[in-house]
Structure 1
Amino acid sequence: MRNGFLSIVVLIAAMLPPFALRASPLQVVPAVQSEHASQATMLDAVWAGERVVAAGDHGIVLLSDDHGKSFRQASSVPLSTPLTGVSFVDAKRGWAVGHWGAILVTADGGDSWQIQRMSNEEDRPLFAVHFFNAQQGVAVGLWSLVLTTEDGGLTWTEQTLQAPPGSKKADLNLMGLFADGQHKLYATAEHGQVLLSEDEGKSWRYISTGYEGTLWSGAVLADGSLLLGGQRGTLMHGTAEGKDFRRVPTQSKGSVTSVAVSGGRVLAVGLDGLMMKSSDGGERFEESQSVEGLSLTAALLDPQGAPVLFSRRGVLPTSSTGQ
């Protein structure tokens, strides 16, 4: 999952005033099949069993059955609006979210999708989605929008958040979602805030990291601690209870868009080609840059611990990752 956020398209949407979201009713147009699909901006990527599923701009979904070496476009996606988050519970069943509050579902590993929810009158984007199992899921987005489902997405319930400390209303943009193995779900947000839910998204409490900028991404490390990615090269490391956050030293000022964890291997990537790798569970990081400094938008680690990278120009070839 999410999460990972963001492209410039989504950043602009997150900054729009309320009146700007109301536009002409959306005309639902399916994603177009393109021989250049692998060059589209990808905004999130996950494993669906042994398959990589990535989603991004223009409703494009990419699939790889060789651990990211080659990709093909999904055969049927009913929307051509940006898809910003994706989550799978097994090799077949998954969900994607995006602009216009869209939620899509697939039962064949991402090859074909159907609409479960969307708003034709108001573009209030969803930025991330996480499913705990085939029935229970959570989606989050613009201005503290939180939706939960108990029936696999057939129906969604909007949850009301309390205002964060020092604020009069809950209006933070919720950028990403990530979970541990015990049904604790975290949402990264603005103003250095992380939200924690221990009841599948029905109620939340705020965790302050001491950081004042926007947190775009995060992950639970092998030891149960949290690694959070934010603006201008910010990496924050702290406990699962939200204590003792410290800033991990970085040289780059590229905002951290995605954090991937596989055992003791950790990879954080971001804008301006930022890449930070750790092989000791996040204790120490080696910092590098992607070829040409291309901004990275999502990342996975394959079974051998090698990165599978996505960018504003689509899939990044393996030869460009420095491996």
Structure 2
Amino acid sequence: MKNHRYLCVGLLSLGLLTFTTLSAQPYQDPLDAPSQVNRLASSSQLTAVGMAGQRIVAVGARGMILLSDDQGNTWQQANVPVSSDLVAVQFTGDTQGWAVGHDGVVLHSADAGATWVKQLDGRNLEKLLTTHFGELAAKGDEKAQQYLDLIKLNFANGPEQPFLGVWFEDEQNGFAVGAFGTIVQTRDGGKTWESWIEKVDNPEMFHYNAIAGIAGQIYISSEQGAVFKLDRAQQRFVKLSSGYTGSFFGLLGNQDYLLAFGLRGNAYKSVDEGQTWSRLDTANTTGLVAGVIDEKGRILLASVAGAVIESRDQGNSFKPIPDVRPALFAGLTVAAPNRIVVVGLSGVQVIGLQ
């Protein structure tokens, strides 16, 4: 069951399968091998895309990170110290950003994505969590031993557990979330990390597919219709019940509403910070894997089947964006007014909006 769930989240969160060719060269652990230069990088498998000021930053397979300073017309490859698949990226401003992915990798850039350093990986993560829960168990915490057993199981085959989402509220305070209820927090820009596994109402240890800050609140999207919201007073994520039974892959919103989207084109909206939800008709039947709100207030959602849909009435109705080349999409960002960049299995696609 563990391996089956891991495969599902890897595919559906579009930490996509990476195909490698046999080589006479000795094996190098992706955590120790820098990402290689790829002449066809902008046409290669990419998983997420975001903005560092006016610069577009896309991340993907084998540690690839691409940058564009001309709204997606041309791309250059960044220096990355690992070749692990990257799944999510976020910048807090023009220069400071983080990318996360497989093998428990957390990368940081202080120069708008040009260069990256590794702040955390699965090896250190296993030690961090084992030490933390070992200390709690020694103090008599009854649940700590259960967490220790889970950690031992998850890391039995090595440091492979993926982070699937990252969110920094500012340059110091942030979270990384991932498979099997894994969540860590930093208060010093990623120099050190601490477990928050025990600080989420998630006894089932659902996967965390994404994390986002919306209108001053922080939310996590998960499985079985679960959304978790940070209770700042309690310093704990509490579970919100949407009424949906499938997986949510992402979240977006503003001061007026919160929207969660996921499997089979399902999207749910809340106007009271997740206390109550209503199902939206997206006119889409395939997984919605990425979304954004543009400067005009349009909701834009990308599907795994290669469609981009938009709503101009806060999700009450949706229609497809025309002239989109179908591909296996994974990430979406607004690059400029009336211009979006979508990434996926076939690389980059720039789309103009009417």
TM-score range (shorter-chain normalised) is 0.7 to 0.9
Look up the equivalent residue of 2:237 and give its one-letter code.
W
Are 1:306 and 2:339 matched, yes or no? Answer: yes
Q: Does residue 93 in structure 1 map to residue 93 in structure 2?
A: no
Matched, 1:119 2:135: no
Relative distance call for 1:47 and 1:26 in structure 2 (3 A) is closer
**Closer, same or farther in 2 for the Cα pair 1:310/1:79, shift >3 Å?**
same
Per-residue displacement from partner, 1:19-76 (whole Å, max 9, x unpaired)? xxxxx976510000111111222211111111111111110001111122322211x1
Gaps of 5+ in 1: 15-23
Relative to structure 1, the CA distance from residue 8 to residue 65 in structure 2 (aligned partners, 3 Å threshold; closer, same or farther) is: same
Q: Percent identity?
A: 27
Which residue pairs with 2:165 in the alignment? 128
- Deviation, 1:125, is 0.7
Residue 140 (structure 1) aligned with residue 177 (structure 2): yes
**SS of the residue 1:176 aligns to:** strand
- 8 Å CA contact retained: 2:200, 2:237: no
Q: Secondary structure at the match of 2:264?
A: coil
Deviations 1:228-251 (A, max 9, x none): 111011111112421331221133
Deviation at 1:151, TM superposition (A): 0.5
Kept in 2, the 8 Å contact 1:229–1:236? The answer is yes
| Displacement of 1:136 | 0.4
Superposed counterparts of 1:72-111, under 5 Å:
72-74=76-78, 76-111=79-114
**In structure 1, C-alpha distance between the alignment counterparts of 2:84 and 2:34, rounded to whole Å:** 9
Question: Does 1:154 find its partner at 2:188?
Answer: no
In 2: Cα distance, 1:77 partner to 1:200 partner? 38
Moved more, 141-150 or 117-126: 117-126
Give the whole-Å Cα distance in 2 for the aligned partners of 1:208 and 1:231: 16
Q: Report the 3-state secondary structure (helix = DSSP H, G, I; strand = E; otherwise coil) of the residue aligned with 2:122.
A: coil
- Structure 2 unaligned runs (5+)? 1-7, 18-27, 124-157
Q: 2-side partners of 1:52 and 1:238: how far apart?
A: 30
Q: Distance in 2 between matches of 1:82 and 1:144?
A: 20
1:237 and 1:138 map into 2 onto residues whose CA distance is 24
Distance in 2 (CA, whole Å) between partners of 1:305 and 1:6 is: 32
- How far the C-alpha of 1:93 sits from its partner, in A, is 1.1
Map 1:1-323 → 2, pairs under 5 A: 8=11, 28-74=32-78, 76-120=79-123, 121-161=158-198, 164=201, 169-182=203-216, 184-199=217-232, 202-221=235-254, 223-263=255-295, 264-288=297-321, 291-318=324-351
| 8 A Cα contact 2:199 2:235, kept in partner | no
Native 8 Å contact 1:215 1:229 kept in 2: yes
Secondary structure at the residue paired with 1:38? helix
| Distance in structure 2 (CA, Å) of the matches to 1:215 and 1:249 | 15
Contact 1:45–1:52 (Cα < 8 Å) also in 2: yes
Secondary structure of the structure 2 residue equivalent to 1:293: coil
Instruction: Give, in whole Å, the separation in 1 of the partners of 2:71 and 2:166.
Output: 22
* Distance (whole Å) between structure 1 residues aligned to residue 114 and residue 11 of structure 2: 26
Q: Deviations over 1:86-117 (max 9, x none)?
A: 11111111111111111111111101101111
C-alpha distance after superposition, 1:140-188 (max 9, x if no partner)? 0011111000001000001133675xx7x24100001111242x11110
TM-score (norm 2): 0.78
Alignment partners' CA distance in 2, 1:13 and 1:173: 16
Q: CA deviation at 1:9?
A: 8.2
How many Å separate the matches in 1 of 2:233 and 2:178?
16
2:15 and 2:86 in contact (8 A); partners too: no
CA distance, structure 2, for counterparts of residue 296 and residue 227 of structure 1: 19
1:150 and 1:262 map into 2 onto residues whose CA distance is 30
Q: Work out whether residues 282 and 317 of structure 2, in 8 Å CA contact, stay in contact via their aligned partners in 1.
A: no
Contact 2:61 2:85 in 1 (8 A): yes
TM-score scaled by structure 1?
Answer: 0.85
Computing the radius of gyration over CA atoms, which structure comes out larger, 1 or 2? 2
CA change 1:7–1:269 in 2 (3 A) is farther
Residue 308 of structure 1 aligns to a residue in which SS? Answer: strand
Contact 2:48–2:330 (CA under 8 A) maintained in structure 1: yes
Q: CA deviation at 1:200?
A: 10
How many residues were matched structurally? Answer: 302
Residues 287 and 11 of structure 1: CA distance in aligned 2, closer, same or farther (over 3 Å)? closer
| Larger displacement relative to structure 2 (189-198 or 118-127) | 118-127
| Distance in structure 2 (CA, Å) of the matches to 1:178 and 1:294 | 25
